[in-house]
A = this chain, B = another copy of it.
């Protein structure tokens, strides 16, 4: 079977996320959307509305990972400079895309298509449009970088025109084994022993404190379903061997 790993980075642009004023919810939405397509989000960065920071992040991420998805900074106001940053990262110029201008000419009366709105028609040389089914002008892609809006509902709409453009690898599947009434301090040894036996998989422990005290969700992730099922069985057996009873598979 294929165990090809295809990766993506998410680049979130905006002072409002870094100031804590706005809670980002795009990273998890993108990660879930890409995950089922066999594209694993391997890194994320949040940078402020500063041109050189955007350029540096785009170049670092597009060189290292298969795809980069950016969100935010493509509106009409002066602080929206993601298109400028992406164009600079690729060393190309922005131009007014005729299709976007045509869309805007339909939408706005002649006098209302002002300089601010025309900013949103700018696409880097060599870029392709990413449809926006929700509201406003399209995003774009250039090379392995996809430039999407920051407003979550619009961003999610645009993802639909991103998915088919990605060449996914083997989907990462996951299983969660839930342990109640036992803490990580005793879970660690059987979990690690099982993880060592499956070096191709990743296993993590996410503790919680519930009404019955400590517990943990043990998440097993891998690209081979049969191996994943074997690992779940081995983990539950290893937990029982360590006196940890009641471990259950909570999603399949």
Distance (Å) between the CB of A71 and the closest chain B CB? 14
Q: Does A206 contact B (CB under 8 A)?
A: yes
0 or 1 for each of A19-56: is its CB under 8 Å from B? (1 = yes): 11111110111111001000011111111110001000
Copies of this chain in its oligomeric complex:
2
Q: Is A191 an interface residue (CB 8 A)?
A: yes
Measured in the bound complex, the distance between the Cα atoms of B119 and A243 in whole Å is 21
Given contacts A27-B24, A207-B151, contact A76 B185 (CB under 8 A): yes
Question: Once the chains are docked, how many angstroms separate the CA of A116 from the CA of B202?
Answer: 18
Q: A185 contacts which chain B residues (CB < 8 A)?
A: 76, 108, 112, 114, 116-117
Please provide the chain A residues from 105 to 161 with a CB less than 8 Å away from any CB of chain B in the complex.
108, 112, 114-117, 119, 135, 151
**Would B49 and A202 count as touching, CB distance under 8 A?**
yes
Judge whether A195 is part of the interface by a CB distance below 8 angstroms.
yes
Report the interface size for chain A: residues with CB under 8 A from the other chain: 64
The 0/1 profile, CB within 8 Å of B marked 1, for residues 159-187 of chain A is: 00000000000001010000000001111
Q: Secondary structure at chain A's binding surface: helix, strand, loop or mixed?
A: mixed
A59 neighbours in B (Cβ, 8 Å): none
Let me know if A18 is at the binding interface, CB within 8 A. Answer: yes
A203 in the interface (beta carbon within 8 A): yes
CA gap between A112 and B183 in the complex, in Å: 12
Which of B35, B43, B184 is in CB contact (< 8 Å) with A77?
B184
One of B14, B19, B108 near A221 (C-beta < 8 A): B19
In the bound complex, how far is the Cα of B19 from the Cα of A41, in angstroms?
6
Q: Which of chain B's residues have a CB closer than 8 A to the CB of A119?
A: 188
Kindly provide the distance from the CB of A156 to the nearest chain B CB, expressed in whole angstroms.
Answer: 13
In whole angstroms, what is the CA distance A135 to B21 when docked? Answer: 28
Complex Cα distance A209/B151, Å?
10
**13 cross-chain CB contacts under 8 A:** A17-B27, A17-B28, A17-B44, A20-B27, A22-B206, A49-B204, A77-B205, A78-B191, A78-B195, A115-B188, A116-B186, A117-B188, A135-B209
